[in-house]
Amino acid sequence: MNIYLDVDDVVLKWHEAYIEKYKLPMPTSWIPYEDIKDHLEELRKNKSFWLSLKVKHMPDFTPSGYVSARGIPLKWTKDTLKLRNFPGRSKVRHVKWGESKINILKSLKCDIFIDDKIETFIECWDNGIFCLLMDTPQNKHLKTKYRIRDLKFETIIKKYNAVKN
């Protein structure tokens, strides 16, 4: 079973670090900040920001890898996952911010993907990839039976089997 995880707001606390750095309120929808592009451009050069991200959810299994939309060196992501002792951290893929993850997920023969972004969740389902939505304040308004609140293997497989069997 190939299970891949998003990084930001699935396994690491990106939003919390971002709003703390820029003194912003926690959003109730996906990144409504006017200055996000300028901030991301600034953060692209700030290795310490990325290495300081704290654990949000630690999987109780070894995922096949991680697929994330980030505009930073891949090494920084790998270094952060290593620093936090994440399992499966040697297999990390990036797409650029705003770019689709579908082609990478298909090339990896992904059975299950877990992401926090509604658009990615929907795009996965539209392209035949089973996807679970990690619960965040930004996606609470979407009603779905495919929402999860942790990275427990048993929970993930139970939701998968309910659809596939």
* pLDDT score recorded for residue 31: 58
Q: Which of 13-17, 29-33, 55-59, 128-132 has the lowest mean pLDDT?
A: 29-33
User: If you ran DSSP here, which 8-state letter would residue 26 be given?
Assistant: P
Assign a CATH topology to domain 3-164. Answer: Rossmann fold (3.40.50)
Q: pLDDT: is 37 or 154 the higher one?
A: 154
Asked whether residue 78 carries a pLDDT value surpassing 70, the answer given is: yes
Higher-pLDDT residue of 156, 30: 156
- The phi, psi pair for 157, rounded to 5°, reads -65, -35
β-strand partners of 82: none
Has residue 6 got a pLDDT over 70?
yes
More confident residue, 38 or 105: 105
pTM for this entry = 0.93
Average pLDDT over residues 25-50: 79
Task: List, for residues 106-159, the tens digit of each pLDDT value.
Answer: 999 999 999 999 999 999 999 999 999 999 988 999 999 999 999 999 999 999
What local confidence, expressed as pLDDT, does residue 30 receive? 59
Question: Among the residues of 6-164, which ranges form H helices?
Answer: 14-22, 36-43, 47-51, 74-83, 102-107, 118-126, 153-164
- In one-letter notation, the amino acid at residue 126 is D
Mean pLDDT of 6-32: 85
Calculate mean pLDDT across residues 71-98: 94
Q: What is the pLDDT of residue 69?
A: 94
Contacts of 129 (CB under 8 A, 6+ apart): 102, 105, 106, 110, 113
* CA 36/CA 18 separation, integer angstroms: 10
Q: How confident is the model at residue 33, as a pLDDT?
A: 55
Q: Where do the domains of the chain lie?
A: 3-164
Mean pLDDT of the chain: 92
